[in-house]
Each structure stands twice: as structure tokens, then as C-alpha cells.
């Protein structure tokens, strides 16, 4: 009996060591590069300039910080909101970043880091219409057009909460706020932090009660089901938050600007 127990413990140790050896973190170190998936269309988190192929944003800076912490180079992999989980499952990238909402549907297929930010869905509209859209009842009326980017939590929120308003799907999230300014829709519902940024970038637009959103949400980094990598990313993120690195980068990318 004792021999059997010892054998079982030894086998457990071997299996544990094997599991650790197969960690994605070890793959990253061996490869000499961490591949970070981003959509490139969600300021202030990630922005991709197609002409120059340049990437910028809060999470681009954080991804560079993660790569430096691991001691490898950074490779940014272009993905989309609808392909976040399929691309992760296919092994196209190691960590998903760029303003990704934590939700239970995604949690079924992947891990998340510790939350990096608390957010919630809130409207943004042309400033002249700001008083028209303070509640979901104000928004969910015939004749109201709500613009949305496809495949993400914004579209999911709209389709679950809006039944009379017209949902206008706009394929390019980089140009969606210009379309809103031009009158192609009446408003957009998105994460509160994005509404704060966009009102600073576009004087025509006003965030509507961004500090009192319609729901509760958090953003985090998307990870494969690899506990070793998750623990490393969580510890790196903890250090970045406690050292003030994250808040300093956030202040840089969110900008100042006056709330309207």
C-alpha cells in the first residue's frame, strides 16, 4: 500500500512537471517572442495604421512592457472581435489585449487575466442630442438609429436590450465615430472609457453619463487555458498596477480634455 502511494505521488510529480514544461510561457521563452493579438480598432487600447503598419495605444505599450518583462520581443497579431476566440484556439497568438471585455461566454473557452479596468456600456451622441438619450427607454424607440461595430460585446448588448430602435452595423470601428458625426446614426452604445476618449477627440460628440453606465463590465487580457502563463501575466500586471506604470500609461492615452 505504501509503495503504491509513493508510486502515485511520483507519477503525480512527473505529470505536474510535464504540464509545467508544456506551458505556453515556456514556448514563448523558447520562441523568443510573445505574440499578442489585437484588433487595432479600439482607442485608446490599440490602433493600427494600415498605411504605415504602425501600432499604437495603451495596450500596445503594455504589450511591449510584458515582452520586456519576459525578456522576448513583441509580435502583434492582427485579429478581429469575431475571431478573438477562434484565433486563440488556433494558437495564432498567446495573449489577447486591446480592451477585451470579460464575460462568461468567453470564459468558457479561455482564461482572463485579473481585471485591468472597470467599465460599462453607456451612450455617446452628437452634443446637440445629448439630452435625448439618457435612458434605454429614450433610446429604444422607433426611428432611433444606434450604430454598432460587429462581433463584439457592443453588438451583443444592443441586440439584447434594444427591440424597437434600428441597429445600424458599421463594419469599420476606426470610422464609426466619424459616421456618427455625419448623422448616419443617432448614437452609439459602447464602453464608458471609449466614450470619454471620443468626446475628447471629437468636439461634436458628448459622452452621456459615462460614470453611471447601464451595466457593469470589466476589461482584461485574454489567455489560453494555461495556468502557468495566467499566473505570470497576473503577477506582471499586479506589479505594473502597483508601481504606477499602468495608471501613467492610461493618463497618457486617455488624454485630458474637458467633460462636456
Give the model confidence (pLDDT) of 98-147 as tens digits.
Answer: 999 999 999 999 999 999 999 999 999 999 999 999 999 999 999 999 99
With pLDDT > 90 as the criterion, what percentage of the chain qualifies?
Answer: 84
Average pLDDT, rounded, for the chain: 91
Distance, C-alpha 28 to centroid of its chain: 22
Q: What is the crossing angle of helices 227-242 and 245-254, to 10°?
A: 70
Rounded CA separation 175/162 (Å): 23
From residue 91, how far is each of 5, 27, 51 by CA, in Å? 37, 11, 27
Residues with Cβ within 8 Å of residue 176, at least 6 apart in sequence: 147, 149, 170, 188
With pLDDT > 70 as the criterion, what percentage of the chain qualifies?
Answer: 90
* CB 122 within 8 Å of CB 246: no
- Architecture in CATH of 2-118+218-254: 3-Layer(aba) Sandwich (3.40)
Select the more confidently predicted residue: 58 or 260.
Answer: 58
**Two domains, one topology: 2-118+218-254 and 121-207:** yes
- Check whether 245 has a pLDDT greater than 60: yes
Q: Which CATH superfamily is domain 121-207 in?
A: Periplasmic binding protein-like II (3.40.190.10)
* CB 124 within 8 Å of CB 201: no
Rounded CA separation 125/185 (Å): 9
What are the structural domain ranges in the chain?
2-118+218-254, 121-207
Amino acid at each position: 500500500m505504501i509503495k503504491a502511494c509513493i508510486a502515485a505521488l511520483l507519477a503525480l510529480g512527473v505529470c505536474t512537471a510535464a504540464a509545467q514544461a508544456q506551458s505556453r510561457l515556456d514556448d514563448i521563452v523558447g520562441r523568443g517572442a510573445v505574440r499578442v493579438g489585437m484588433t487595432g480598432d479600439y482607442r485608446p487600447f490599440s490602433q493600427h495604421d494600415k498605411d504605415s503598419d504602425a501600432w499604437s495605444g495603451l495596450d500596445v505599450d503594455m504589450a511591449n512592457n510584458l515582452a520586456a518583462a519576459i525578456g522576448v520581443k513583441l509580435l502583434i497579431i492582427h485579429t478581429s472581435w469575431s475571431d478573438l476566440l477562434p484565433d486563440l484556439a488556433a494558437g495564432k497568438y498567446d495573449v489577447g489585449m486591446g480592451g477585451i471585455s470579460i464575460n462568461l461566454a468567453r470564459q468558457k473557452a479561455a482564461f482572463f487575466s485579473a481585471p485591468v479596468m472597470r467599465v460599462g456600456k453607456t451612450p455617446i451622441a452628437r452634443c446637440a442630442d445629448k439630452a435625448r438619450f439618457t435612458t434605454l427607454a429614450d433610446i429604444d424607440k422607433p426611428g432611433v438609429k444606434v450604430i454598432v461595430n460587429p462581433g463584439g460585446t457592443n453588438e451583443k448588448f444592443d441586440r439584447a436590450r434594444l427591440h424597437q430602435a434600428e441597429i445600424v452595423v458599421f463594419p469599420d470601428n476606426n470610422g464609426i465615430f466619424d459616421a456618427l458625426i455625419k448623422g448616419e446614426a443617432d448614437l452609439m452604445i459602447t464602453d464608458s472609457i471609449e466614450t470619454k476618449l471620443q468626446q475628447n477627440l471629437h468636439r461634436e460628440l458628448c459622452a452621456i453619463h459615462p460614470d453611471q453606465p447601464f451595466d457593469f463590465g470589466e476589461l482584461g487580457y485574454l489567455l489560453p487555458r494555461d495556468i502557468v502563463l495566467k499566473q505570470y501575466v497576473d503577477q506582471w500586471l499586479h506589479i505594473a498596477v502597483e508601481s504606477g506604470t499602468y495608471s501613467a500609461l492610461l493618463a497618457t492615452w486617455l488624454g485630458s480634455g474637458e467633460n462636456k
